[in-house]
Structure 1
Amino acid sequence: MINRLIITHPDDWHLHLRDGSVLVHTVFDASQRFARAIVMPNLKPPIITTQQALAYRNRILSVLPKDKIFQPLMTLYLTDNTTAKEIISAKDSGYIYGVKLYPAGVTTNADSGVTSLTKLYPIFEVLQKKKLPLLLHGETIDPSIDIFDREKVFIEQNLIPILHDFPELKVVLEHISTQEAVEFIKAMPSNIAATITPHHLLLNRNAMLLGGIQPHHYCLPVLKKEKHRQALIAAATSGSPKFFLGTDSAPHSKSNKESACGCAGIYNSHAALELYAEIFEAADSLSKLEGFTSFYGPDFYGLPRNQAKITLLRSPWKVPKNLPFGDQVLIPLQAGLTINWCLEKKQ
Structure 2
Amino acid sequence: MDILTLLQPDDWHAHLRDGDSLKRTVPDLAKQFHRAICMPNLVPPVKTVEEAVAYRERIMQHVPEGIDFDPRMVLYFTDHTPSDEIKKIKDSSVVNAIKLYPAGATTNSDNGVSDIRKVYHVIEQLEEHQVPLLLHGEVTHSHVDIFDREKRFLDEVLTPLLRQFPQLKLVLEHITTADAAHFVLEQGRQVAATITPQHLLFNRNDMLVGGIKPHFYCLPILKRQSHQTTLLEVATSGNPKFFLGTDSAPHAQSKKENACGCAGCYSAPYAIELYAQAFDQMGKLDKLEGFASHFGADFYGLERNSKTITLVRKEQTIAERLTYFPNDDIIPLFAGQTINWSLQ
Which bracket does the TM-score occupy, shorter chain normalised? over 0.9
Task: State the distance in 1 between where 2:259 and 2:111 align.
Answer: 22
SS in 2 for 1:270: helix
Look up the match of 1:4. Answer: 3
Instruction: List per-residue Cα deviations over 1:171-217 (Å, max 9, x = no partner).
Output: 00000000000110111000000000000001100111122111111
Look up the match of 1:131. Answer: 130
Task: State the distance in 1 between where 2:284 and 2:117 align.
Answer: 41
Look up the match of 2:31. Answer: 32
Greater mean alpha carbon deviation, residues 237-246 or residues 320-329: 320-329
Task: State the distance in 2 between where 1:36 and 1:265 align.
Answer: 21
Look up the match of 2:336. Answer: 336
Task: State the distance in 1 between where 2:93 and 2:337 align.
Answer: 41
- Could you tell me which runs of 5 or more consecutive residues in structure 2 were left unpaired when the two chains were aligned: none
Task: State the distance in 1 between where 2:263 and 2:54 align.
Answer: 26
Shift of 1:260: 2.3
SS in 2 for 1:325: strand
Shift of 1:93: 2.3
Task: State the distance in 2 between where 1:7 and 1:251 align.
Answer: 26
Greater mean alpha carbon deviation, residues 210-219 or residues 272-281: 210-219
Look up the match of 2:269. Answer: 270
Instruction: List per-residue Cα deviations over 1:42-96 (Å, max 9, x = no partner).
Output: 0111111111111100000011011110100000000000001222223222211
Number of paired residues? 343
Residue 212 of structure 2 is aligned to residue 197 of structure 1: no
SS in 1 for 2:158: helix
Q: Which amino acid counterpart does residue 192 of structure 1 have in structure 2? A: V
Look up the match of 1:18. Answer: 17
Look up the match of 2:116. Answer: 117
Contact 2:236 2:279 (8 Å CA) reproduced: yes
Look up the match of 2:150. Answer: 151
Q: TM-score, normalised by structure 2?
A: 0.98
Q: Which amino acid counterpart does residue 52 of structure 2 have in structure 1? A: A
Contact 2:89 2:131 (8 Å CA) reproduced: no
Greater mean alpha carbon deviation, residues 325-334 or residues 225-234: 325-334
SS in 2 for 1:54: helix
Residue 241 of structure 2 is aligned to residue 242 of structure 1: yes
Instruction: List per-residue Cα deviations over 1:238-288 (Å, max 9, x = no partner).
Output: 110000000000010000001222100000001000011111011000010
* Identity across the alignment (%): 53
Matches within 5 A, 1:1-347: 2-327=1-326, 328-344=328-344
CA RMSD of aligned residues (A): 0.8
Task: State the distance in 2 between where 1:306 and 1:125 align.
Answer: 32
Task: State the distance in 1 between where 2:94 and 2:307 align.
Answer: 22
SS in 2 for 1:7: strand
Q: Which amino acid counterpart does residue 339 of structure 2 have in structure 1? A: I
Greater mean alpha carbon deviation, residues 191-200 or residues 123-132: 123-132
Task: State the distance in 1 between where 2:230 and 2:118 align.
Answer: 34
Task: State the distance in 1 between where 2:60 and 2:325 align.
Answer: 17
Shift of 1:144: 1.6
Q: Which amino acid counterpart does residue 332 of structure 2 have in structure 1? A: P
- Could you tell me which runs of 5 or more consecutive residues in structure 1 were left unpaired when the two chains were aligned: none
Q: Which amino acid counterpart does residue 85 of structure 1 have in structure 2? A: D
SS in 2 for 1:97: strand
Task: State the distance in 2 between where 1:258 and 1:166 align.
Answer: 42
Shift of 1:341: 0.7
Task: State the distance in 1 between where 2:323 and 2:199 align.
Answer: 24
SS in 2 for 1:125: helix
Task: State the distance in 1 between where 2:316 and 2:21 align.
Answer: 24
Task: State the distance in 1 between where 2:207 and 2:281 align.
Answer: 22
SS in 1 for 2:24: helix
SS in 1 for 2:247: coil
Shift of 1:162: 0.6
Shift of 1:315: 1.2
Task: State the distance in 2 between where 1:47 and 1:130 align.
Answer: 20
Task: State the distance in 2 between where 1:191 and 1:243 align.
Answer: 12
Q: Which amino acid counterpart does residue 144 of structure 2 have in structure 1? A: I
Q: Which amino acid counterpart does residue 235 of structure 2 have in structure 1? A: A
Contact 2:316 2:339 (8 Å CA) reproduced: yes
Q: TM-score, normalised by structure 1?
A: 0.98
Q: Which amino acid counterpart does residue 315 of structure 1 have in structure 2? A: K
SS in 1 for 2:269: coil
